[in-house]
């Protein structure tokens, strides 16, 4: 028998209307071996009728809620299956991404190294670099002398020869093998220490390092 959901307005047949009858019980109902009094029969019949309608309504409500529960259970199972499948895809793709990224980085490093090896600057002879470094240092020294003559403050910066010696192993070897480039800096312990620090401690990585 179809009934109304609890809370819906349905007159005397509604759940809210019939629910209080659960608390209504004739004193003699518990004593089944005793017949009710004549004046109690009609009241018991009315109560019984209401309770029968109430149990029909409750049965329909139970069926409705059970259906909702079954639907929700099915949806939850589907959602869990979808989540499990997505988790597998996520974990698999994460592992693949890590491997692919590693390969990509290795390949990128290899390409960078090969491009550096093929760069035209690699073919510049050491003798030419010595001339470049010497010209660089002479130009810087000329600028320093001009500042002294004009009484302008002399900038405290690393000499060009030390900068050149910090670029790569080849440049450092070339700079150190040019006496006219490095000899002016070895006249005292302070300058010597500065040279060593600049060359061996503050050396910056370069794609042209060999």
Residues 6+ apart with CB under 8 A from 44: 26, 29, 36
Write phi, then psi, for 14 (nearest 5 degrees).
-75, 155
The model carries a pTM of: 0.41
Query: Residue 151: what pLDDT?
Result: 54
Q: Structure tokens of 32?
A: 């089944």
Query: Residue 143: what pLDDT?
Result: 60
Reading the chain (210 residues) residue by residue, the pLDDT tens digits are 444 444 444 444 444 554 454 444 444 444 556 777 777 888 888 999 999 999 999 999 999 999 999 999 999 999 999 999 999 999 999 999 999 999 999 999 999 989 988 888 888 888 888 888 777 776 655 565 555 555 545 455 566 666 777 777 787 788 777 776 655 554 445 555 555 555 555 454 444 444
Residue 50 and residue 21 in contact, taking contact as beta carbons nearer than 8 Å = yes
Q: What is the CB neighbour count within 10 angstroms for residue 10?
A: 16
Coil vs helix vs strand at 167:
coil
Phi-psi region of 7 (alpha: psi -120 to 50; beta: other; left: phi over 0): left
Q: How far apart (Å, rounded) are the C-alpha atoms in residues 190 and 196?
A: 10
Query: Residue 160: what pLDDT?
Result: 65
Residue 128 and residue 161 in contact, taking contact as beta carbons nearer than 8 Å = no
């Amino acid at each position: 028998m179809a009934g109304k959901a609890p809370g819906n307005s349905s007159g005397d047949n509604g759940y809210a209307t019939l629910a209080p009858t659960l608390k209504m019980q004739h004193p003699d109902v518990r004593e089944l071996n005793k017949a009710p009094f004549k004046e109690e029969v009609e009241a018991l019949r009315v109560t019984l009728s209401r309770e029968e309608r109430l149990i029909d309504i409750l049965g329909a409500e139970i069926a409705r809620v059970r259906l909702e529960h079954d639907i929700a259970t099915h949806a939850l199972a589907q959602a869990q299956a979808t989540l499990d499948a997505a988790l597998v895809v996520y974990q698999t793709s994460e592992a693949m991404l890590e491997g692919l990224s590693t390969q990509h980085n290795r390949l990128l490093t290899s390409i960078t190294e090969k491009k550096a090896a093929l760069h035209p600057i690699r073919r510049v002879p050491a003798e030419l670099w010595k001339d470049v470094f010497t010209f660089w240092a002479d130009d810087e020294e000329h600028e320093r002398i001009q500042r002294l003559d004009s009484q302008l403050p002399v900038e405290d910066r690393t000499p060009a020869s030390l900068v050149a010696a910090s670029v790569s192993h080849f440049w450092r070897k070339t700079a150190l093998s040019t006496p006219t480039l490095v000899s002016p800096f070895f006249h005292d312990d302070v300058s010597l220490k500065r040279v060593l620090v600049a060359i061996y401690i503050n050396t910056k990585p370069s794609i042209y390092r060999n």
